[in-house]
Amino acid sequence: MKKNKGFSINAKGKELDIYLFEEIGAGWLGGISAKRFAEDLKSAGSPSQINLHINSPGGSVFDGIAIYNTLRKNKARVVVDIDGLAASIASVVAMAGDEIRMAENAMLMIHDPWIVTAGSAAELRETADLMDKTKDSLIKSYSAQTQLAVEEISELMAAETWMSADEAMEYGFIDSVTEEVKLAACFDPTRLYSYRNPPERLIESLLEKTTASAAEKPKLDAYRNKRTRIKGFLKKRNW
């Protein structure tokens, strides 16, 4: 079976262990595409159970939706373990599980979809409409698992909500909490800077676990300095 950085599929009898320790979407995201995920899953045969392990900061919304649908349509029972982080569209992929478990030291994050775009006023309005429709489709995936009201899920997404395992359990995003999992960093921690409100403990934990190469170290140092300046700015204003 082909491997791609943090993505692998391993057969164990009639079960498959899938590790999605990777960003979602190919191209500039440099992660695992929905096409590659579907092809590798198909080539693995017809398992009775799929054990999907997730540690991902998210990525392409539409690749993530396609991966979610690929898993939902598979005849195998899908057991999801959130071993580290299931953020953004990775949290939607996690909802494909018939059973969803989360390590007690893991985190789950949901937020509104966003896009980098350009164009005329009319084109930007069309893009905004597309984002609204995309959010509606994501809400359906969350709602199928949690049974929360659409309005409540929408508010949680708009606030960029980061959840501990206990909080995710309380909201109904997961079915059970499992023991802690020790993980090495599997993606660039500076990717989390694109989010509005990543928990400080998560950022620091990832930075501590990251062994920077000579080329990466300046980027990590600049990231730490930028966070320090922003924290100082907010502290002066009591925010």
Question: What separation in angstroms does the CA of 145 have from each of 142, 187, 218?
Answer: 5, 27, 42
The tokens for 1 are 């079976």
Q: Is 122 left (phi over 0), alpha (psi -120 to 50) or beta?
A: alpha
Residue 70, pLDDT > 90, answer yes
Q: Which of 70-74, 122-126, 160-164 shows the lowest mean pLDDT across its residues?
A: 122-126
The residues that are catalytic are 88, 111
Residue 235, pLDDT > 70, answer no
Residue 52, pLDDT > 50, answer yes
Residue 177, pLDDT > 60, answer yes
Residue 207, pLDDT > 80, answer no
Residue 16, pLDDT > 50, answer yes
The CA distance from 231 to 95, in Å, is 34
Residue 151, pLDDT > 90, answer yes
Residue 163: predicted pLDDT? 94
Q: What is the set of domains in the chain, with CATH numbers?
A: 7-184 (3.90.226.10), 188-239 (no CATH)
Residue 194, pLDDT > 60, answer yes
